[in-house]
A and B are shown apart, each in its own frame.
Chain A
Amino acid sequence: MSAFLIGEAMTGGYGGADILHSCTIAVEKGEIAVIVGPNGAGKSTAMKAVFGMLKLREGTVRLAGEDITSLSPQARVAKGMGFVPQTSNIFPSMTVEENLEMGAFIRTDDFSTTMEQVYELFPILRDKRRQAAGELSGGQRQQVAVGRALMTQPSVLMLDEPTAGVSPIVMDELFDRIIEIARTGISILMVEQNARQALEIADKGYVLVQGANRYTDTGQALLADPDVRKSFLGG
């Protein structure tokens, strides 16, 4: 097992009972890994564990071979991990451009080219760059959130349900952008409610049930698997 980012045999919870039980999540360089599963399966928890927002009792997290299990989330950002939380993932009263600037806060070099890349990826943000991010639509806010996380030039981008609460058209649009980001060599680790669509774009899929791995395979294989279809994709 020498994936680019791997949370291996993770066991832990928010104090009290364990939520994750020897759960393993990994993503290769430039690939898209998707975590799906029923409500309460520990999808977001697994992602937070990989990002260090949850104390692990057992298991390790490694980034490019380096053990980062004991690092704080902030230190992991400095190591090249970007995280987009599911909610409150923007600075609502600040303009779009200021949101991106804050994303680049830890950078001391010139980040104007990165900002340009974000604007190329999400052209609508360029038009709205002087507008307060809180005034934008749900889909546009998600673009701001993803753009903010990209400003540190991460090697891994972690997205917690990026399409929650947006329309199906916007969802397809967002997935397209995510594929584009992955093509630039950034690994994507994503939790998704819309399992079918997410698995379609996934190189690797993880089906979690009650905090443990149930099925792990390529996205296409999971979509083709009759058991997975019946239990998790509604036939």
Chain B
Amino acid sequence: MEPLNALVSVANFMLVPALAYGSQLALGALGITLIYSILRFAHFAHGDTMALGTAAVIGGTWFLQAQGIGIQPLPTALLALPFGILVMIGYLLTVDRMVYRYYRRVKAKPMIFVMASLGVMFVTNGITRLFMGVGETRFEDGGRFLFTVREFREWTGLAEGLALRSAQALTIITALVVMMVLFWFLNRTRAGKSMRAYSDNEDLALLSGINPERVVMITWIITAILLVLAGTLYGLDKGFRPFNYFQLLLPMFAAAILGGLGSPIGAIVGAYVVAFAEMGITYAWRRVFTYLMPEGLEPTSMMQLLPVDYKFAVTFAILVIVLLFRPTGIFKGKVL
């Protein structure tokens, strides 16, 4: 049973959390890759927009909770999602109209767009803090676990336990569904195909009668949906702190670039690679090896390559390595 115990231990502390974290990153990275391929700039306001969207969902959750409306055992936040998405669609379209549309009209260079999105990032960050403060907000309610460590031990009789939190399960399932819907949209619908056409060849898309402003609008709407979902799932899983969302910018960009900018499938693969690398390198493997090694050879150290505080260093290293050795990413995307 020792290898099995090792496996359960890895699953509990590394695989399941990484899968959930990777799914959250994937939803965010998909937005980055879409904006990059349609609007052709790196959207620096992504993390903070995600925070604002989540704040809207939290506001909706509080309202529903005050009314006594809930969907036990699922978190109330799920009910508030449509509200958050609508707020975010409104916010992103307003920002586009007030900021980015002007730069599109004057055909500004991508770097100008990036700087503009940096400004949007600061403003969005300020708005979020105005409503939510800088501290941590927990808004997860409903059943917290699908099954706990103790239940798992009783079922299997193993020494090690595995818990599955409902937020994690929700994240993985939602991400899967959203990805499938997104791919269906991009590959099967007229609007989705027009987005791909615009991304492929802007001039020819214009010649074919595709309206660029419409393509841009659809892109922001999809981004809003992805952002609110990613942010809410992340918040349910780990709690809501605006600064954490800002910090997600790095792993999300690393994921999009590692997968190949402009490639949706790349964003997803990249997100899981980043998540597993972050978790794997900062995970203390001592327990696993205690189970696997023959008696007397158990490790005495923590077997941890880097402290958890350095998990962003892992992401940063991935980003640098990709940019140095394969700037187009795994799936041959565009070069930033």
Q: How far is the CA of A92 from the CA of B208 in the complex (A)?
A: 15
* B197: interface (CB < 8 Å): yes
**Which of B152-160, B198-206, B218-226, B268-276 contacts its partner?**
B198-206
* A2: interface (CB < 8 Å): no
Q: Which residues of chain B come closer than 8 Å to A148, judged between CB atoms?
A: 204, 208
**Which of A63-71, A94-102, A118-126, A209-217 contacts its partner?**
A94-102
Within 8 Å by CB of B197, from A74, A89, A91, lies A91
* B196: interface (CB < 8 Å): yes
Structural contact, B207 and A101, CB atoms closer than 8 A = no
Structural contact, A94 and B209, CB atoms closer than 8 A = no
Q: Which residues of chain A come closer than 8 Å to B326, judged between CB atoms?
A: none
Within 8 Å by CB of A77, from B194, B199, B207, lies B207
Structural contact, A90 and B201, CB atoms closer than 8 A = yes
Structural contact, A105 and B206, CB atoms closer than 8 A = no
* A73: interface (CB < 8 Å): yes
Residue in A92, A93, A101 whose Cβ sees the most chain B Cβ within 10 Å: A93
| Least CB distance, A149 to chain B, in whole angstroms | 9
Structural contact, B204 and A106, CB atoms closer than 8 A = no
Structural contact, B206 and A92, CB atoms closer than 8 A = no
Asked if A89 meets B209 with Cβ closer than 8 Å, knowing A94-B196, A102-B193, A105-B194, the reply is: no
* B182: interface (CB < 8 Å): no
Structural contact, B201 and A101, CB atoms closer than 8 A = no
Q: How far is the CA of A67 from the CA of B199 in the complex (A)?
A: 34
| Least CB distance, A122 to chain B, in whole angstroms | 18
Q: Which residues of chain A come closer than 8 Å to B281, judged between CB atoms?
A: none
* A78: interface (CB < 8 Å): yes
Q: How far is the CA of A85 from the CA of B206 in the complex (A)?
A: 12
Asked if A74 meets B200 with Cβ closer than 8 Å, knowing A94-B193, A105-B194, the reply is: no
Q: How far is the CA of A83 from the CA of B199 in the complex (A)?
A: 20
* A88: interface (CB < 8 Å): yes
Structural contact, B208 and A102, CB atoms closer than 8 A = yes
Q: How far is the CA of A74 from the CA of B197 in the complex (A)?
A: 16
* Binary A-proximity of B169-210 (CB < 8 A = 1, otherwise 0): 000000000000000000000100110110111011111111
Q: Which residues of chain B come closer than 8 Å to A91, judged between CB atoms?
A: 196-197, 200-201, 204-205
Q: How far is the CA of A78 from the CA of B206 in the complex (A)?
A: 12
Q: How far is the CA of A102 from the CA of B194 in the complex (A)?
A: 7
Q: How far is the CA of A94 from the CA of B204 in the complex (A)?
A: 13
Nearest B residue to A145 by beta-carbon distance?
B204
Instruction: Count A/B pairs, Cβ under 8 Å.
Output: 57
Q: How far is the CA of A77 from the CA of B207 in the complex (A)?
A: 7
Within 8 Å by CB of B201, from A77, A78, A83, A92, lies A92
Structural contact, A85 and B204, CB atoms closer than 8 A = yes
Structural contact, B209 and A77, CB atoms closer than 8 A = yes
Q: Count residues of A near B (Cβ-Cβ below 8 Å).
A: 20
Asked if A73 meets B200 with Cβ closer than 8 Å, knowing A102-B194, A105-B194, the reply is: no
Q: Which residues of chain A come closer than 8 Å to B206, judged between CB atoms?
A: 73-74
Within 8 Å by CB of A94, from B190, B197, B203, lies B197
Q: Which residues of chain B come closer than 8 Å to A139, judged between CB atoms?
A: none
Q: Which residues of chain B come closer than 8 Å to A102, judged between CB atoms?
A: 193-194, 197, 204-205, 208, 210
Q: Which residues of chain B come closer than 8 Å to A93, judged between CB atoms?
A: 196, 199-200
Structural contact, A98 and B193, CB atoms closer than 8 A = yes
Q: Which residues of chain A come closer than 8 Å to B196, judged between CB atoms?
A: 91, 93-94, 98
Structural contact, A94 and B210, CB atoms closer than 8 A = no
Structural contact, A103 and B208, CB atoms closer than 8 A = yes
Q: Which residues of chain A come closer than 8 Å to B203, judged between CB atoms?
A: 85, 88
Structural contact, B207 and A74, CB atoms closer than 8 A = yes
Structural contact, A92 and B210, CB atoms closer than 8 A = no
Structural contact, A88 and B209, CB atoms closer than 8 A = no
Q: Which residues of chain A come closer than 8 Å to B197, judged between CB atoms?
A: 91, 94, 98, 102, 105
Q: Which residues of chain A come closer than 8 Å to B207, judged between CB atoms?
A: 73-74, 77, 83, 85
Within 8 Å by CB of B209, from A74, A92, A98, lies A74
A90-144: which have CB < 8 Å to B? 90-94, 98, 101-103, 105-106
Q: Which residues of chain A come closer than 8 Å to B208, judged between CB atoms?
A: 77, 102-103, 105-106, 148
Closest 4 CB pairs of A and B: A106-B209, A91-B200, A102-B197, A105-B208
Extra 18 A-B pairs, beta carbons < 8 Å, given A74-B207, A83-B207: A73-B206, A73-B207, A77-B209, A85-B207, A88-B204, A90-B201, A91-B196, A91-B204, A92-B200, A94-B193, A98-B196, A101-B190, A102-B204, A102-B208, A102-B210, A103-B208, A105-B209, A148-B204
19 A–B contacts from the bound complex (CB under 8 Å)? A73-B206, A73-B207, A77-B207, A85-B204, A85-B207, A91-B196, A91-B200, A93-B196, A94-B200, A98-B197, A101-B190, A101-B193, A102-B197, A102-B210, A105-B194, A105-B197, A105-B208, A106-B208, A106-B209
